[in-house]
Structure 1
Amino acid sequence: MKQISVFCGSSPGASSLYLEAGEKLGSHLAKEGITLVYGGSKLGVMGSVANAALQAGGQVIGVIPKMLMERELAHTNLTELIVVNTMHERKAKMEQLSDGFIVLPGGPGTMEEFFEVYTWAQLGEHQKPIGMINANQYYDKLLAFFDHMIQEEFLKPEYHSMVIVEQDPQDLINKFRTYKPPLLTKWITSEQT
């Protein structure tokens, strides 16, 4: 693992535990020699993960669309800041640069980024690990909804297991290193097997 994308909010959230989770992850990535790839903002959870990685001596690559340069207040002290034209280009660039993906707490934009790389994994577009830091039980209801998707037969159990959920970055990175994607059978019918 050389580079990992982190998706998270540009807001700090209601609990200090979200910023602390960002700091802990950023610091751990730096100590492991893993370059952080993230959305390029200096605000909120995004800022906390980037600042912690930088303070621990790590490398940080920000990827930010032109339209968000001022709104999200781009971080100007990164190892590299890549400015792209659109949100679509941001996600594509982050996917291209990364060996895996980690989701910290965030809002609809974070969810959209997570679900896109998760969908790509299910379709076999990539075989990179996807992890979730469930700080302050933020993702408990989403994880329960995944169980509901399985019950209603819209999600196969093996695809649910593609998302590695942990509280501690060390545990998550250890699981990333041994990750094996499930066999891709999403679009194979019983007649084809």
Structure 2
Amino acid sequence: MKMAIFCGASLGNHPLYEQKSLELADWMAAEGHDLVFGGGKVGLMGVMADRMLAHGRLAIGVIPTFLKEREIAHPGLTDLIVVADMHQRKAKTMELSQAFIALPGGPGTLEEISEVISWSRVGQNDGPCILYNVNGYYEPLKDLFDQMVSQGFLSQADRDKVLFSDDLGEIAHFIQTYQAPAIRRY
């Protein structure tokens, strides 16, 4: 399975983020999964790509021209797909991937996983969406999703289709048993 990993071009300020990213890559490789990601050589992107390549797995980068031109593209990937812009990057990443995991990251990481979750609700993504909740990073967002349910803006069934976890066993089970949400009707 190809897994899209949304992650930042920085390491964050706690060594646990890098450590858990390496553990995720080790788990992915052991399970026979491949990586689809933003194509960068820096930050958690570079950590994930380097580790997957070290395991002999595919590391497929999708990067817009303007970022490639800033010389942050990873030079040793299995494949580097260059697209025109960020919209095409997300569309291509989604096309290539069967599961979606967000590591801790900034606004770009949040935007990417949010769009994929949103696409699930309208029938444009049938893959599982997971927020890798390292060090409780995504707890405020988890609380917000629960508030969306309590305030009537998200159904409990759709909320249950998004996993917040840092437990690789739980993540594996979620992916294996995942069923896409019913297409939202109005």
TM-score w.r.t. structure 1 length? 0.91
Partner of 1:148: 147
Aligned counterpart, 2:85 = 86
Instruction: Specify the alignment match of 2:39 in structure 1.
Output: 40
Matched with 1:129 is 128
* Cα distance in 1 between the residues matched to 2:173 and 2:56: 21
Tell me which moved more, 54-63 or 91-100: 54-63
Q: Deviation digits for residues 93-134 of structure 1, max 9, x if unmatched?
A: 000001111111111111110111101000111211111210
Q: Which amino acid aligns with 1:40?
A: G
Question: 1:152, CA displacement in angstroms?
Answer: 1.4
> Which residue in the other structure is 2:14 paired with?
15
User: Is the 1:26–1:52 contact (alpha carbons within 8 Å) kept by the matching residues of 2?
Assistant: yes
Task: Check the 8 A contact 1:7/1:103 in 2, yes or no.
Answer: yes
Give the distance between the partners of 1:139 and 1:77, measured in 2 at CA.
31
| Residue deviations 1:22-55 (CA, integer Å, cap 9, x gap) | 1111121112111100000111111111111111
Query: Separation in 2 of the partners of 1:158 and 1:100?
Result: 19
C-alpha RMSD of matched pairs (Å): 1.4
- TM normalised by structure 2 equals 0.94
3-state SS in 2 of match to 1:181: coil
**Structure 1 letter corresponding to 2:102:** V
Specify the alignment match of 2:100 in structure 1: 101
Unaligned residue ranges in structure 2 (runs of 5+) = none
1:40-86: per-residue Cα shift (whole Å, max 9, x none)? 01111111111111112211101000111144711111111111111
Matches within 5 A, 1:153-168: 153-168=152-167
Structure 1 unaligned regions, length at least 5: 189-193
- Cα contact 2:142–2:164 (8 A) shared by 1: no
CA distance in 1, matches of 2:90, 2:126: 16
SS in structure 2 at match of 1:94 = helix
Inter-partner Cα distance in structure 2 for 1:20 and 1:167: 12
Q: Which AA in structure 2 matches 1:146? A: F
Q: Which residue of 2 aligns with 1:68?
A: 67
* Per-residue CA distance 1:162-181 (angstroms, 9 max, x = gap): 11222133431232011112
SS at match of 1:132: strand
Number of positions where the alignment pairs a residue of Structure 1 with one of Structure 2 = 186
> Which shows bigger deviation, 24-33 or 3-12?
24-33
In the aligned structure 2, how far is the partner of 1:112 from the partner of 1:165?
Answer: 16
Aligned partners of 2:39 and 2:45 also within 8 Å: yes
The equivalent of 1:191 in structure 2 is none
Distance 2:3 2:77 in 1: 15
C-alpha contact (below 8 Å) 2:21/2:103 kept by paired residues: yes
Is the CA contact 1:101–1:129 (under 8 Å) kept in the aligned structure 2?
yes
Residue 109 (structure 2) aligns with: 110
Q: Kindly provide the amino acid, as one letter, of the partner of residue 133 in structure 2.
A: N
Letter paired with 2:156: P
